[in-house]
């Protein structure tokens, strides 16, 4: 028991990231509303960023700023943070694009619920 | 420049010259179509070009009789193309040229006024160059290329009529052709992967080395070539397509294209025997054992093909279908001969000679038979034998030619079929004597099939040309045009080869057998100067013909010929069609349902699949 | 004259042109078309020059800003990357030549400039992805490629296209995120982002963290698999490729999907290394899905009646071939797969462009409606016929050579059952492609058609479209007759690839 909680507490970042990933995936897959799907994608992306940041973190280390003449010391890895910034920008781009597509779909179909859209599509196909 | 220099130049680049000439003609064809007179010029140019190529091929005979000629063209297809002409190919090439020439004369009968000549003659020339290419090819890749081109080009010829049911029938032809081609490709790939080479010769050398794989490869080759040759059970396309296509195309296909299938199988076996010079004892025995096993199976397949073909042919009432089934049956004879050639190994030259000889003879008389059927059909517009009759008064020339062809195919002495059937008979007797005793029954089936053929053709001649003439055909008159020339040439061929059977043997077949490493003593003892007119052989014809006449009389009396196999046994309606339909229907239903679900559902199912994937990945832990 | 910076020049040229396009004020006219085509020609010249350079001097690595490998971004310029770049630009040239006349009728004329911006960004991302040797750089290029390829579908404002592009976007983004998670896992254990350094590190770290690397490869394979349309994850492809404008379909089927397959190949063979991959059974795993793709793609295509959907499902099958070659994990297998990447790019572009011309001129997409159109559109149907013969595997086309190489590779790897799969799928290909060609060439047009068909586009396909189709068809045949041109270069590249 104690070993388990320890393991759990030490790695809570990674476990949280994976849980968020699955929650996000579940949201994308099951909710019929398109905006909820986009939210689900955002949750997934957030989980990946969380995972990335946690990789770089070293407990007990300092912020990665080296001042002139100071000795080298253990710093947190700055690279994942840089990568995540890129990732966040990409995520924003994709979200913006997806939302604009949703606007267009709403114009074309009149609804953004996926099951209603599928009904309209199959009705059209059978015409 | 004199003849020798010309001949040297030809010898230097024969394949290229042939291909270039034909391609030039191909380019010329579309331009010669506007006016009717120009169309006549077009037909004449086609014939001249084919004749020219025949002359070229004959001219290199003196060289090839000593040693095969080879040409390499580098860089194409990665490893270059090799053309190789030896005596076996040369005779087939000349024969192909002759058949194409004769058929091009005959097209005046049915294509001339049908229309779309430009397409017909273009694909005719493409089929011609593809056939020659298949025969000339020395490496497997170019062989396969020309084979596929030949299949597709002949398909276009087959469906020349372009109506809906013709195209449906044609699609069976092309799908069977593609399956055959793919089998051959599988065989080629397997052989190339294991022997690291692409030439027929090296294939033959290393064949003994391969292990169990060689049976698979040989089986695939035989499957592929069998489709082309009309081997049972792959013969289904023959009776489906032949009634629907033009009769000149039938003459072409039966005359030469089916033979390419036989040539392929023959080439496979012969290249093994041919390249055994200086091989180790063990490898030699391995090759011979393989050949023996495969040969034995092929002999039986040949026998089955013969019997199935003849029985089905006896049931037919429509002329063209009957001739189609007879093509299948006669190719059975050829396959049996090739089987003996393989089975007896070095002593198989009798089978080789028989198979080879029969292919040539069959080409001649079968083409002639199709032309006769065409002539009758065009005048009477009826293909049903039972509705025709008494046409010997209206069409005397056709009657004579038909009787000559019928004598040829049934094996009447003094006509060409007799010689080749006798050689084949000797071959199957040898298989029995030198090989396994079960081939005794093979010989009996051989006699039975010959009797059946005789019966069938007695029916053919009597029903069409003798007996009571139908009212509708009272005023049928014969016309004489280029088609007549074609029929005359073929009929003369039947009779000439019948009267001088050894000529073909001496000039082509025996030298071919010698260069291909068959046992020289055996050849000298049995083949050289073989007299086919011995009493023993002549006397075997007597029971054949009498049994045939008996079958005919009994059949007509008791209406046995109208007996069709019950629907369940008839492969066409019983197996192929329903199986195919059901397969397509089930596939369509299942797929439509699956696709509807996938499109209309949301990403949920997709997610399940994703999860399944991830979980199965954990399997690899 | 030819210097080592050419890859970067190509990229900057494409990017610069992409950013200049939206600034145009004139309508879409001849001058712009000429400029666009000449940009592509210049990039092509540079790519070919680079190819000659690399063939002579061997592969080299190009570091940006002279920062060394682990610190800066690196491009690994090897023979196959340059060859693939050249092929991408050549095919892009043909497709854009085609699109000049075709786009006016497919999308809103005010958006044509946006379309070309997206295409050039797509080319930029694709070429970047081909060259890069850094996994995060690859992720960035993958994202650019993703967004632009969705956009070139959505730019056609029809309902089908919008829904299809939404599905593609969502699935593609799920794929990207999965890939990023995989990259994170790899970074976690190796601490590098550069592929060569990761490869060295993985060999050392493999025993300690097998789970991490396995999970990483699982995520990466799944993520890229969604984008490359491996069998169960291919659902977005038929809708997306069939409802897109024709040039987009040709781009997507012919080039974009291949770029992702190439990324998977890089990840398996360059990052993780062929030894570890075969040890953990990754390549066997790919083989199973490859076989499923091949068979199921062809089987699905049989039941389609819309010509573009049929071509899209056929793409799924063809990508299965490429995965088959990759899954064999031998030299021959990889070279066969890479050869098929190039040959399929040509064949599928030929098929999509000719199908697009048919739709352009007659508006008909249903397979049964195509009887007898070969007489009104001979060039189009000839190109379609060449593409069909290539798919079936008739010699003298590039499709036959790729089947030949794949067959030899599968026999060499000791898996003859794959040969049977390849041949069965060739037969299935014939079953669904031949009827189209047969009915187009050999059947009569239904007679009422001659009265009713009034095409608003004139009576014949515009010349630029014909020329581009004919050139792509010629490419198929040239590669089929002289496969050495491509195969020699690939054979040079494979050893550096697998190192």
Question: What pLDDT, on a 0 to 100 scale, did the predictor assign at position C322?
Answer: 94
Give residue B158's Cα distance to chain centre. Answer: 15
What are C379-433's pLDDT values in tens digits? Answer: 889 999 999 999 998 888 999 999 999 999 998 888 888 998 999 999 999 988 9
**Residues 99-158, chain B, touching C (beta carbon < 8 A):** 141-142, 144-145, 148-149, 152, 156
CB B176 within 8 A of CB B237: yes
What are C252-305's pLDDT values in tens digits? Answer: 999 999 999 999 998 888 888 888 888 888 888 889 999 999 998 888 888 888
Helix axes of C378-392 and C331-362: crossing angle, nearest 10 degrees: 150
pLDDT of B599 above 90: no
DSSP 8-state code for residue B468: P
If you average pLDDT over each of A52-56, B435-439, B449-453, C317-321, which comes out highest?
C317-321
Question: Torsion-angle region of residue B78: left (phi > 0), alpha (psi -120 to 50) or beta?
Answer: left
Same domain as B550, residue B469 = yes
B/e letters for C420-438, b = 16+ CB within 10 Å, e = fewer, are ebbbebbbbbbbbbbebbb
Which of the residues C125, C145, C171, C184 would you substitute to probe the A interface, choosing the one with the greatest number of A C-beta atoms within 10 Å? C184
Which of the residues C146, C165, C173 would you substitute to probe the A interface, choosing the one with the greatest number of A C-beta atoms within 10 Å? C173
Domain containing residue B329: 3-564
Beta-carbon separation of B602 and A25 below 8 A? no
pLDDT of B35 above 70: no
**Residues of chain C neighbouring A87 (CB-CB closer than 8 A):** 139, 180
What pLDDT band is residue C451 in, cutting at 50, 70 and 90? very low
**Residues of chain B neighbouring A122 (CB-CB closer than 8 A):** 596, 600
Beta-carbon separation of A44 and C174 below 8 A? yes
Distances (CA, A) of B379 to B117, B319, B391: 21, 14, 10
Domain ranges of chain A: 2-59+76-126
Question: What pLDDT, on a 0 to 100 scale, did the predictor assign at position C390?
Answer: 92
pLDDT of B350 above 70: yes
Beta-carbon separation of A101 and C165 below 8 A? yes
Q: What is the spatial distance between Cα B469 and Cα B465, in angstroms, rounded to a whole number?
A: 8
- Summarize the confidence of residues B112-128 as an average pLDDT: 81
Share above pLDDT 90 across residues of chain C, in percent, rounded to a whole number = 42
**Residues of chain C neighbouring A109 (CB-CB closer than 8 A):** 159, 163
> How far B524 CA lies from chain C's nearest CA (Å)?
43
Question: What pLDDT, on a 0 to 100 scale, did the predictor assign at position C448?
Answer: 43
> How far C175 CA lies from chain A's nearest CA (Å)?
10
Nearest CB among B171, B194, B598 relative to C235 is that of B598
Same domain as B560, residue B608 = no
Question: What pLDDT, on a 0 to 100 scale, did the predictor assign at position C331?
Answer: 87
> Chain-wide mean pLDDT for chain C?
87
CB C220 within 8 A of CB B614: no
Beta-carbon separation of A122 and B606 below 8 A? no
Which of B216-220, C36-40, C322-326 shows the lowest mean pLDDT across its residues? B216-220
pLDDT of B515 above 80: no
> In chain C, which residue's Cα lies nearest the Cα of B159?
C442
Cα dihedral A5, A7, A10, A12, rounded to 10, equals -80
**Residues of chain B neighbouring A114 (CB-CB closer than 8 A):** 602
> In chain A, which residue's Cα lies nearest the Cα of B609?
A29
> How far A70 CA lies from chain C's nearest CA (Å)?
22
Question: What pLDDT, on a 0 to 100 scale, did the predictor assign at position A94?
Answer: 94
What are B212-257's pLDDT values in tens digits? Answer: 777 888 888 889 999 988 888 888 888 888 888 888 888 888 888 8
Nearest CB among A26, A114, A122 relative to B602 is that of A114
What pLDDT band is residue B568 in, cutting at 50, 70 and 90? very low
Question: Torsion-angle region of residue B479: left (phi > 0), alpha (psi -120 to 50) or beta?
Answer: beta
pLDDT of B598 above 70: no
Same domain as B105, residue B87 = yes
> In chain B, which residue's Cα lies nearest the Cα of C303?
B588
More confident residue, B567 or B505: B505
Question: What pLDDT, on a 0 to 100 scale, did the predictor assign at position B468?
Answer: 74
Q: Which residues pair with B70 in a beta bridge?
A: B84
Q: Contact partners of A by the rule of 3+ C-beta pairs under 8 A?
A: B, C
More confident residue, B255 or B80: B255
Which of the residues A29, A117, A124 would you substitute to probe the B interface, choosing the one with the greatest number of B C-beta atoms within 10 Å? A29
What pLDDT band is residue B621 in, cutting at 50, 70 and 90? very low
Same domain as B454, residue B320 = yes
> Chain-wide mean pLDDT for chain A?
86
Same domain as B329, residue B229 = yes
Same domain as B494, residue B581 = no
Same domain as B478, residue B368 = yes
Six-digit token string for A10: 């030490």
Which of the residues C166, C185, C192 would you substitute to probe the A interface, choosing the one with the greatest number of A C-beta atoms within 10 Å? C166
Give residue C10's Cα distance to chain centre. Answer: 19
Share above pLDDT 70 across residues of chain C, in percent, rounded to a whole number = 96
More confident residue, B211 or B157: B157
Same domain as B542, residue B447 = yes
Which of the residues B78, B155, B589, B596 would you substitute to probe the C interface, choosing the one with the greatest number of C C-beta atoms within 10 Å? B78
CATH of domain A2-59+76-126: 1.10.287.3510
> How far B580 CA lies from chain A's nearest CA (Å)?
28
- Summarize the confidence of residues C208-216 as an average pLDDT: 85
What are C120-137's pLDDT values in tens digits? Answer: 999 999 999 999 989 999
What are B465-485's pLDDT values in tens digits? Answer: 777 777 766 667 777 777 788
* Cα–Cα nearest to B188, from C477, C324, C479, C408: C408
Question: What pLDDT, on a 0 to 100 scale, did the predictor assign at position C318?
Answer: 93
Same domain as B596, residue B556 = no
Which of B77-86, B333-342, B600-609, C376-385 shows the lowest mean pLDDT across its residues? B600-609
Same domain as B592, residue B548 = no
> How far C248 CA lies from chain B's nearest CA (Å)?
21
**Residues of chain C neighbouring A121 (CB-CB closer than 8 A):** 159-160, 163
**Residues of chain A neighbouring C181 (CB-CB closer than 8 A):** 21, 47-48, 51
**Residues 566-595, chain B, touching C (beta carbon < 8 A):** 587-588, 591-592, 595
Beta-carbon separation of B600 and A114 below 8 A? no
pLDDT of C146 above 90: yes
What are C89-106's pLDDT values in tens digits? Answer: 999 999 999 998 888 888
Question: What pLDDT, on a 0 to 100 scale, did the predictor assign at position C486?
Answer: 87
pLDDT of B393 above 90: no
* Counted domains in chain B: 2
What are C42-89's pLDDT values in tens digits? Answer: 999 999 988 888 888 888 888 888 777 778 888 888 888 899 999 999
How far the first Cα of chain C sits from its last, in Å, is 30
**Residues of chain A neighbouring C193 (CB-CB closer than 8 A):** 79
Which of A5-14, B237-246, C18-27 shows the lowest mean pLDDT across its residues? A5-14
Cα dihedral A96, A101, A103, A104, rounded to 10, equals 150
What are B130-182's pLDDT values in tens digits? Answer: 998 898 888 888 889 999 999 999 998 888 888 888 888 888 889 899 999 99
Q: What is the spatial distance between Cα B496 and Cα C29, in angstroms, rounded to a whole number?
A: 75
Same domain as B172, residue B58 = yes
Question: What pLDDT, on a 0 to 100 scale, did the predictor assign at position A3?
Answer: 63
* Cα–Cα nearest to C360, from C164, C157, C100, C122: C100
Same domain as B458, residue B355 = yes
Question: What pLDDT, on a 0 to 100 scale, did the predictor assign at position B316?
Answer: 79
- Summarize the confidence of residues A97-102 as an average pLDDT: 94
Give DSSP secondary structure letters for B230-256: T-TTSTTHHHHHGGGS-HHHHHHIIII
What pLDDT band is residue C499 in, cutting at 50, 70 and 90? low
Distances (CA, A) of B316 to B249, B320, B571: 21, 9, 15
> In chain A, which residue's Cα lies nearest the Cα of C184?
A52
**Residues of chain A neighbouring B601 (CB-CB closer than 8 A):** 118
Q: What is the spatial distance between Cα C6 and Cα B609, in angstroms, rounded to a whole number?
A: 43
Which of the residues C180, C192, C218 would you substitute to probe the A interface, choosing the one with the greatest number of A C-beta atoms within 10 Å? C180
If you average pLDDT over each of A7-21, C210-224, C227-241, C337-351, which comes out highest?
C337-351
pLDDT of B538 above 90: no
**Residues 168-207, chain B, touching C (beta carbon < 8 A):** 170-171, 174-175, 178-179, 182-183, 185-186, 189-190, 192-194
Q: What is the spatial distance between Cα C35 and Cα C219, in angstroms, rounded to a whole number?
A: 42
Nearest CB among C408, C426, C430 relative to B192 is that of C408
What pLDDT band is residue B193 in, cutting at 50, 70 and 90? confident
Beta-carbon separation of C177 and A83 below 8 A? no
pLDDT of B267 above 60: yes
Question: What pLDDT, on a 0 to 100 scale, did the predictor assign at position B570?
Answer: 52
CB C125 within 8 A of CB A71: no
**Residues 81-120, chain A, touching C (beta carbon < 8 A):** 83, 86-87, 90, 93-94, 97-98, 101-102, 104-105, 108-109, 117
Cβ burial, residue B13 (10 Å; 0-12/13-18/19+): middle
Question: What pLDDT, on a 0 to 100 scale, did the predictor assign at position B604?
Answer: 61
More confident residue, C195 or B314: C195
What are B416-454's pLDDT values in tens digits? Answer: 888 888 888 888 887 777 777 777 788 888 888 888 888
- Summarize the confidence of residues B249-266 as an average pLDDT: 88
């Amino acid at each position: 028991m104690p070993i388990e909680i320890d393991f759990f507490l030490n790695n809570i970042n990674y476990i949280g990231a994976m849980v968020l990933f699955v929650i996000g995936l579940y949201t994308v897959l099951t909710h019929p509303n398109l905006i909820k799907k986009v939210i689900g994608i955002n949750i997934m992306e957030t989980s990946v960023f969380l995972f990335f940041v946690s990789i770089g973190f070293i407990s007990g280390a300092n912020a990665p700023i080296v001042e002139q003449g100071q000795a080298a010391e253990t710093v947190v890895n700055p690279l994942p943070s840089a990568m995540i910034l890129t990732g966040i920008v990409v995520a924003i781009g994709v979200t913006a694009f997806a939302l604009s597509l949703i606007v267009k779909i709403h114009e074309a179909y009149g609804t953004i619920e996926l099951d209603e859209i599928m009904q309209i599509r199959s009705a059209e196909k059978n015409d | 420049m004199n003849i020798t220099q010309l001949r040297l130049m030809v010898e230097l680049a024969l394949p290229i010259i042939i291909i270039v000439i034909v391609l030039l003609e191909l380019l010329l064809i579309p331009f010669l179509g506007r006016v009717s007179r120009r169309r006549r010029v077009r037909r004449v140019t086609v014939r001249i070009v084919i004749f020219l190529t025949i002359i070229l091929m004959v001219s290199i005979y003196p060289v090839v009789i000593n040693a095969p000629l080879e040409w390499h063209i580098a860089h194409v297809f990665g490893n270059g193309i090799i053309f190789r002409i030896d005596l076996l190919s040369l005779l087939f090439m000349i024969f192909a040229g002759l058949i194409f020439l004769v058929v091009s004369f005959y097209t005046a009968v049915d294509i001339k006024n049908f229309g779309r000549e430009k397409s017909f003659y273009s694909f005719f020339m493409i089929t011609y160059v593809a056939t020659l290419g298949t025969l000339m090819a020395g490496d497997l890749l170019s062989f396969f290329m020309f084979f596929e081109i030949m299949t597709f080009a002949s398909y276009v010829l087959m469906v020349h009529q372009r109506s809906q049911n013709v195209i449906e029938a044609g699609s069976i032809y092309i799908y069977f052709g593609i399956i055959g081609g793919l089998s051959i490709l599988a065989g080629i790939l397997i052989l190339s992967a294991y022997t690291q080479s692409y030439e027929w010769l090296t294939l033959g050398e290393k064949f003994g080395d391969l292990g169990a794989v060689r049976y698979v490869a040989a089986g695939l080759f035989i499957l592929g070539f069998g489709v082309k040759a009309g081997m049972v059970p792959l013969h289904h396309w023959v009776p489906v397509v032949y009634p629907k296509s033009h009769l000149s195309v039938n003459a072409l296909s039966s005359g030469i294209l089916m033979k390419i299938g036989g040539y392929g199988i023959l080439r496979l076996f012969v290249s093994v025997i041919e390249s055994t010079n200086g091989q180790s004892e063990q490898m030699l025995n391995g090759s011979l054992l393989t050949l023996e096993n495969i040969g034995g199976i092929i002999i039986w397949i040949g026998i089955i093909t013969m019997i199935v073909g003849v029985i089905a042919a006896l049931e037919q009432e429509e002329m063209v279908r009957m001739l189609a089934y007879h093509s299948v049956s006669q190719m059975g004879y050829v396959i049996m001969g090739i089987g003996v050639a393989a089975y007896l190994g070095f002593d198989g030259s009798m089978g080789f000679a028989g198979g080879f000889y029969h292919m040539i003879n069959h080409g001649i008389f079968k083409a002639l038979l199709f032309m006769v059927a065409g002539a009758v059909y065009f005048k009477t517009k009826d293909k049903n034998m039972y509705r025709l009759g008494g046409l010997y008064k209206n069409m005397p020339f056709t009657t004579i030619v038909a009787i000559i062809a019928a004598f040829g195919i049934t094996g009447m002495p003094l006509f060409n079929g007799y010689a080749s059937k006798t050689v084949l008979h000797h071959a199957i007797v040898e298989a029995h004597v030198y090989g396994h005793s079960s081939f005794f029954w093979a010989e009996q089936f051989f006699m039975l099939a010959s009797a059946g053929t005789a019966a069938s053709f007695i029916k053919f001649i009597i029903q069409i040309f003798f007996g009571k003439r139908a009212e509708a055909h009272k005023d049928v008159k014969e016309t004489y045009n280029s088609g007549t020339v074609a029929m005359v040439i073929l009929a003369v061929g039947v009779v000439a080869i019948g009267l001088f059977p050894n000529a073909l043997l001496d000039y082509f077949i025996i030298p071919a057998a010698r260069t291909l490493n068959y046992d020289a003593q055996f050849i000298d003892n049995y083949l050289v100067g073989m007299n086919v007119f011995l009493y023993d052989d002549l006397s075997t014809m007597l029971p054949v013909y009498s049994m045939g006449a008996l079958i005919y009389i009994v059949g007509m009396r008791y209406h046995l010929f109208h007996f069709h196999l019950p629907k369940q046994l008839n492969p066409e309606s019983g197996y192929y069609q329903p199986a195919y339909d059901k397969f397509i229907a089930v596939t369509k239903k299942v797929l439509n349902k699956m696709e509807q679900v996938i499109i209309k559902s949301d990403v949920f199912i997709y997610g399940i699949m994703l999860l399944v994937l991830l979980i199965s990945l954990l399997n690899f832990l | 004259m030819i210097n080592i910076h050419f890859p970067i020049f190509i990229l900057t040229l494409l990017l610069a042109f992409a950013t200049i396009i939206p600034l145009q004020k004139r309508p879409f006219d001849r001058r712009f078309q000429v400029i666009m085509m000449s940009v592509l020609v210049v990039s092509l010249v540079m790519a070919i020059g680079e190819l000659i350079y690399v063939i002579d001097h061997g592969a080299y690595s190009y570091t940006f800003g002279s920062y060394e490998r682990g610190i800066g971004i690196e491009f690994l310029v090897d023979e196959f990357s340059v060859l693939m770049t050249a092929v991408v630009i050549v095919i892009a040239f043909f497709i854009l030549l085609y699109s000049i006349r075709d786009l006016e009728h497919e999308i809103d004329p005010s958006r044509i400039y946006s379309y070309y911006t997206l295409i050039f960004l797509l080319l930029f991302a694709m070429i970047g992805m081909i060259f890069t040797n850094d996994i995060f750089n690859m992720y960035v290029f993958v994202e650019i490629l993703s967004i632009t390829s969705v956009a070139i579908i959505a730019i056609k404002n029809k309902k089908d296209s919008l829904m299809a592009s939404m599905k593609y976007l969502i699935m593609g983004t799920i794929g990207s995120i999965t890939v990023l998670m995989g990259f994170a896992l790899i970074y976690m254990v190796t601490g590098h982002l550069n592929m060569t350094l990761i490869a060295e590190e993985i060999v050392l770290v493999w025993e300690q963290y097998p789970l991490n690397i396995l999970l990483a490869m699982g995520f990466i394979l799944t993520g890229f698999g969604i984008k490359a349309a491996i069998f169960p994850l291919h659902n977005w492809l038929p809708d997306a490729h069939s409802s897109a404008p024709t040039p987009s379909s040709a781009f997507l089927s012919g080039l974009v999907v291949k770029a992702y397959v190439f990324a998977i190949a890089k990840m398996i063979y360059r990052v993780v290394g062929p030894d570890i991959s075969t040890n953990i059974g990754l390549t066997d795993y790919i083989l199973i899905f490859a076989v499923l793709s091949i068979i199921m793609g062809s089987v699905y295509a049989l039941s389609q009646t819309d010509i573009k959907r049929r071509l899209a499902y056929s793409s799924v099958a063809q990508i299965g071939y490429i995965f088959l070659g990759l899954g064999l994990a031998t030299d021959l297998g990889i070279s066969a797969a890479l050869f098929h990447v190039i040959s399929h790019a040509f064949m599928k572009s030929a098929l999509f462009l000719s199908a697009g011309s048919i739709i352009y001129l007659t508006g008909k997409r249903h397979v049964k409606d195509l009887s007898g159109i070969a007489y009104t559109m001979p060039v189009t149907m000839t190109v379609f016929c060449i593409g069909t013969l290539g798919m079936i595997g008739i010699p003298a086309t590039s499709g036959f050579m790729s089947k030949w190489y794949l067959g030899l590779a599968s026999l060499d790897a000791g898996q003859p059952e794959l040969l049977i799969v390849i041949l069965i799928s060739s037969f299935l290909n014939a079953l669904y492609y031949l009827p189209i060609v047969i009915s187009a060439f050999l059947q009569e047009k239904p007679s009422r058609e001659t009265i009713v068909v009034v095409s608003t586009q004139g009576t014949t396909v515009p010349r630029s479209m014909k020329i581009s189709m004919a050139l792509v068809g010629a490419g198929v045949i040239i590669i089929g007759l002289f496969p050495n041109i491509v195969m020699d270069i690939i054979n040079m590249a494979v050893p550096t690839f697998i190192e």
